[in-house]
Amino acid sequence: MPAQSDAPGERRPPLRYSLRDQVLCALRGALVTGELCPGTVYSAPALALRFDVSATPVREAMQQLVREGAVEVVHNRGFRVASRSVRDLAELAEVRALIEVPVMLRLARTVRPECWEPLRPLAQDTVVAAGAGDRAAYADADRAFHAALLGLGGNAQLVAVAGELHGRAQWPAAHGPGPHPAQLLADATEHAVLLDALVARDLPTVESLVREHFSGVPGT
Q: Which of 61, 81, 101 is the last residue of a domain?
A: 81
Q: Contact 166/216 with Cβ under 8 angstroms? A: no
Whether 11 has a pLDDT exceeding 80, the answer reads no
The residues pairing with 81 across neighbouring beta strands, listed in sequence order, are 71
Smallest Cα–Cα separation from 43: which of 78, 74, 72, 80? Answer: 78
pLDDT in tens, 198-214: 999 999 999 999 988 87
Q: Which range is least confidently modeled, 2-11, 112-121, 162-171?
A: 2-11
Q: Do 97 and 75 belong together in one domain?
A: no
* 74-86 per-position pLDDT tens digit: 998 999 998 877 8
Q: Quote the CA–CA distance of 163 and 137 in Å, as a whole number.
A: 16
Question: Would you say residue 13 has pLDDT above 90?
Answer: no
- pLDDT tens digits along 96-147: 999 999 999 999 999 999 999 999 999 999 999 999 988 888 888 999 999 9
- Is 168 inside a domain boundary? yes
Residue 202 belongs to a domain with what CATH number? Answer: 1.20.120.530
For residue 93, the SS3 value is: helix
Containing structural domain, residue 55: 19-81
User: For the chain, how far is it from start to end, CA to CA, in angstroms?
Assistant: 56
**Residue at 189 is within a domain:** yes
The yes-or-no verdict on residue 175 having pLDDT over 90 is: no
Once rounded to an integer, what is the mean pLDDT over residues 16-41? 85
* Together in a domain, 93 and 202: yes
Q: What is the chain's length?
A: 220
pTM: 0.77
Q: Where residue 77 sits, what CATH number does that domain have?
A: 1.10.10.10
Mean pLDDT confidence for 172-183 = 60
Last residue of a domain, one of 62, 81, 100: 81
Rounded distance, CA 103 to CA 27, Å? Answer: 31
CB-CB contact of 205 with 220 (8 Å): no
Regarding whether 65 and 157 lie in a shared domain, the answer is no
> Last residue of some domain: 41, 64, 81?
81
pLDDT at 55 over 70: yes
Q: Mark whether 169 and 206 lie in a shared domain.
A: yes
197 and 160 in a common domain: yes
Give how many domains the chain has, as a whole number.
Answer: 2
